[in-house]
Structure 1
Amino acid sequence: MATYKFKFQKVLEYRKSMEDQKKSKLSISIKRYQREKEDLNKLYDRLNNSNHILYQKASNGTTIAELRDIYEEQVFYREGIKHKTNSVIKAEEEVKKSRQELIKAMQNKKTMEKLNEVYYNSFQAGEQRKYEKNIEEIVSYKESRK
Structure 2
Amino acid sequence: MAKFSFSMQNILNIKYKIEDQVKAEFAEANHAYNQAVEKLNYYVSRQHGLEEELRQLYSNKLDIVKIRSTQAGIERMEDLIKLQIIEVNKANDLVEQVRQKLAEAMVERKTYETLKERAFEEFLEELKKEDDKVIDELVAYRYKGETSE
**TM-score, normalised via structure 1 length:** 0.96
- Rounded to whole Å, the distance in 2 between the matches of 1:103 and 1:35 is 24
Name 1:107's counterpart in structure 2: 107
RMSD: 1.0
Correspondence 1:130-145 to 2 at 5 A: 130-145=130-145
Name 1:73's counterpart in structure 2: 73
SS class of match (1:5): coil
Provide runs of 4+ in structure 1 moved above 4 Å: none
Deviation of 1:18 (Å): 1.0
User: What letter corresponds to residue 107 of structure 1 in structure 2?
Assistant: V
- Rounded to whole Å, the distance in 2 between the matches of 1:11 and 1:48 is 55
Residue 30 of structure 2 is aligned to residue 30 of structure 1: yes
Name 2:83's counterpart in structure 1: 83
**TM-score, normalised via structure 2 length:** 0.94
- Rounded to whole Å, the distance in 2 between the matches of 1:66 and 1:143 is 111
Alignment coverage as a number of residue pairs: 146
Gaps of 5+ in 1: none
User: What letter corresponds to residue 28 of structure 2 in structure 1?
Assistant: I
Name 1:64's counterpart in structure 2: 64
User: What letter corresponds to residue 123 of structure 2 in structure 1?
Assistant: F
Name 2:42's counterpart in structure 1: 42
Residue 117 of structure 2 is aligned to residue 117 of structure 1: yes
Name 1:98's counterpart in structure 2: 98
Q: Percent identity?
A: 29
SS class of match (2:41): helix
Gaps of 5+ in 2: none
Name 2:20's counterpart in structure 1: 20
Identify the range of structure 1 (64-73 vs 1-10) with the bigger mean alpha-carbon deviation.
64-73
SS class of match (2:135): helix
- Rounded to whole Å, the distance in 2 between the matches of 1:25 and 1:137 is 58
User: What letter corresponds to residue 129 of structure 1 in structure 2?
Assistant: K
- Rounded to whole Å, the distance in 2 between the matches of 1:61 and 1:81 is 30
- Rounded to whole Å, the distance in 2 between the matches of 1:141 and 1:45 is 89
- Rounded to whole Å, the distance in 1 between the matches of 2:98 and 2:44 is 28
